[in-house]
Structure 1
Amino acid sequence: MPRRLRAAAKPSPLLICALLLLLLAATVEASIGDRLPEFRECVQICKQENCNIGSATQIPLHRRLLFWTCPAECDYTCQHIITDNRVADGKPIVQFHGKWPFYRFLGMQEPASVIFSLGNLWAHCHGIRKLLARVPATYPLLPWYRAFATAGIAAWTFSAIFHTRDFTATEQLDYFAAGASVLYGLYYTPIRLFRLDRPTARRRSVLRAWTLFCCVLYALHVAYLKGVHWDYTYNMAANVVVGMVQNSLWVWYSYRRYQQTRRSWSFWPIIAVALIMAFMSLELFDFPPLWGTFDAHSLWHLGTIAPTLLWYNFLIKDSQYEVAGGDRLKS
């Protein structure tokens, strides 16, 4: 799980790149597999035999395009050699560099997570296109729904990139984009539930205060991760807490909406929340990847596709009901 200064001249691209690299710099903690003597010996021998200048083993183009180098190839190969030996000896599979030893596909480190991340990306693209086609352009909540889709699209794009190739920069962009998406989910929820978009002086003041609060909250979140401690446990806990608050509000609203409308679609948020919580529980029971491909994290990504589609369908029904005057009829 990110001041402005007026300058006489624009900063150079080199300076910008240097600042970005500094921002995304971080340390990497070792896993059990990294510390195994047999793994380190395997990598060392592989590098000596295959990575010498002038006689290095040729790497296929599609992998070189994804920045696979000879040392990285040795690391990947040795992970699977050690894993196969451990399985043959009846020993448990262990992680390397904080990840399970996945079988890559077309150079992708975690192909299942990449594909399922793209599935969520498609769900947001499909959902917002459908919503914009079926809800009048004058509907006042559309800007917030577009921003919700944009945050989701960005989060799942960076997720796919990160799972394709795990670097410090791709990992942090994934975490920060995911955090922004989760926090935006909480941000727009009270705007819809309490109609903070309506042009009254009191609501405008509340909206400004709420917007400022969420921006500060996100800035503090990023500042802590980057400036204090890159804490995986904290990042997960922060996203879970924000998500739980948002989900609780939608469950309350869903029940209230059903009392108003007596329509089955009013319960869709409850169904979506239940599905998301069920698949999120997979993260608590992490296990080695099935067939070297499907781990708990990838299945969690798979499980969020259907609730996302259901969520956009609810937003469409909810918006159409209001546009048709249903709320006025029930008031």
Structure 2
Amino acid sequence: MWRYFIILSILIKSKLAWASIGDRSPYYQKCLDRCHLLNCTQDGKYFLGEYTQPLYLQWTFWYCLDECKYNCMWKTITTFHDLNLKTPQFYGKWPFIRFLGIQEPASMFFSLFNLYMHVKMLKIFQKRVRYDSPLYSIWISFGLICCNAWFWSAVFHTRDFLLTEIFDYIFSFSIILVNFYVMMIRVLRFKLHQSILIFLTILILAFFLNHGLYLYKAHFDYAYNMKINILVGTLAAICWFIWCFANRNNQPYVWKCALYVALTGLVLPLEIIDQPPLFYVFDFHAIWHLTTAPLVFLIYSFAIDDCRYLRKLHVEDLNFEGNQKSKFK
């Protein structure tokens, strides 16, 4: 019973936020210290005694101290529930039941679902669009960048390390930035000189690299990263909507792009909701990943129609130029 009184006294006397109260609780800290002392080497990496860790945990880098944190987390949750207290967060994250060493199974599998959708639609795009069509390489680059981002999302949700977290956030931003870039190229390609478009491309790349380096050097500035994501994403969405509205009559397929942007924004609040995961498996972040996967079909369907439209214009321009030249011969 003593452990209950210790936790209650901390809850009453401290002003700690619920965000990390689990790992800050005395019961958790005592459990962790004891587990580390009895089971782990001093660096917390290896196990003492004859214990043999399952291979799937070795392959996902669950070291001895990580195992202690995981087991003590569930013991602490049980204690909190016995006191009729809410499920706490640990190190700023909700508790999840791991599966085969995967730290957040639902988010990991739904990230792979998004990756699968991009790979599948990229293949369909390549089959239905000629390689010499305008913006063909731009959309291929878009798909590859998205595939890379969803791969690192799956890696991060498999095991949450500082490096995997940085890669996840940086490459998640790459999806937002490449969407902005594709919008810019599509809207401005007939209005600006080729050299200016190349300069803008270099500027976008430099901005992305600077963003990534800053996050790495600043040990991850969450507020800054969120502001940049919202700014670039919102600007791209507004520009896409304006362009789709302006071209709705001569390019009726643009509704696909507008619907994609609208639905992407509609499901975005799922990313913001911060509640304990259902059955310790499905949180709102995982559901958000699930909802974004079907939307991939819309943007590639738009890309296919738009590339075909641009190719038709290109062929007509070539035929017109050919006819004009033949008249002067």
Residues 90/139 of structure 1: CA separation in 2 closer, same or farther (3 Å cut): same
Aligned to 1:18: none
Paired residue total: 294
Aligned to 2:23: 34
Given the alignment, which residue of 59, 70, 75 partners 1:76? 70
For 1:33 and 1:233, the matched residues in 2 are separated by 23
Listed as ranges, the gaps of 5+ residues in structure 2 are 1-18, 42-46, 318-329
Given the alignment, which residue of 101, 105, 123 partners 2:117? 123
Residues 219/269 of structure 1: CA separation in 2 closer, same or farther (3 Å cut): same
Post-superposition Cα deviations, 1:300-328, rounded to whole Å, max 9, x if no partner, equal 11111111121101111222233344997
1:301 aligns with 2:295: no
**What is the TM-score when the length of structure 2 is the normalising length?**
0.83
* Deviates further, 223-232 or 283-292: 223-232
Post-superposition Cα deviations, 1:257-307, rounded to whole Å, max 9, x if no partner, equal 32213x3x3211221112211211122221111110111211111111111
For 1:243 and 1:328, the matched residues in 2 are separated by 35
Alignment of 1:212-291 (within 5 A): 212-228=202-218, 230-261=220-251, 263=252, 265-291=253-279
Given the alignment, which residue of 163, 168, 173 partners 1:169? 163
Q: Which residue type is aligned with residue 99 of structure 2?
A: F
Say whether the 8 Å CA contact 2:166–2:220 is kept in structure 1: no
For 1:117 and 1:128, the matched residues in 2 are separated by 17
Say whether the 8 Å CA contact 1:254–1:268 is kept in structure 2: no
Larger C-alpha radius of gyration, 1 or 2? Answer: 2
SS in structure 2 of the partner of residue 304 of structure 1: helix
CA displacement at 1:190 relative to structure 2: 1.3
CA displacement at 1:112 relative to structure 2: 0.6
Aligned to 2:152: 158
Say whether the 8 Å CA contact 1:31–1:97 is kept in structure 2: yes
> 4+ residue runs of structure 1 moved beyond 6 angstroms?
326-329
Say whether the 8 Å CA contact 1:95–1:101 is kept in structure 2: yes
Residues 294/54 of structure 1: CA separation in 2 closer, same or farther (3 Å cut): closer
Aligned to 2:322: none
Which structure would you say has the larger RCO, counting Cα contacts within 8 Å and 6 or more residues apart? 1
Listed as ranges, the gaps of 5+ residues in structure 1 are 1-29
For 1:173 and 1:229, the matched residues in 2 are separated by 12
Given the alignment, which residue of 89, 99, 119 partners 1:95? 89
CA displacement at 1:121 relative to structure 2: 0.6
1:64 aligns with 2:54: no
Q: Which residue type is aligned with residue 47 of structure 1?
A: H
Post-superposition Cα deviations, 1:195-243, rounded to whole Å, max 9, x if no partner, equal 26x9xxx521221221132123223312322234521122122112111
**What is the TM-score when the length of structure 1 is the normalising length?**
0.83
Q: Which residue type is aligned with residue 32 of structure 1?
A: I
Over the aligned positions, Cα root-mean-square deviation in angstroms equals 2.2
For 2:121 and 2:139, the matched residues in 1 are separated by 10
CA displacement at 1:158 relative to structure 2: 0.5
Same amino acid, percent of matched pairs: 35
For 1:239 and 1:161, the matched residues in 2 are separated by 21
Given the alignment, which residue of 3, 27, 38 partners 1:49? 38
Q: Which residue type is aligned with residue 31 of structure 2?
A: C
Post-superposition Cα deviations, 1:74-118, rounded to whole Å, max 9, x if no partner, equal 111111121122223221222112211101111100001101110
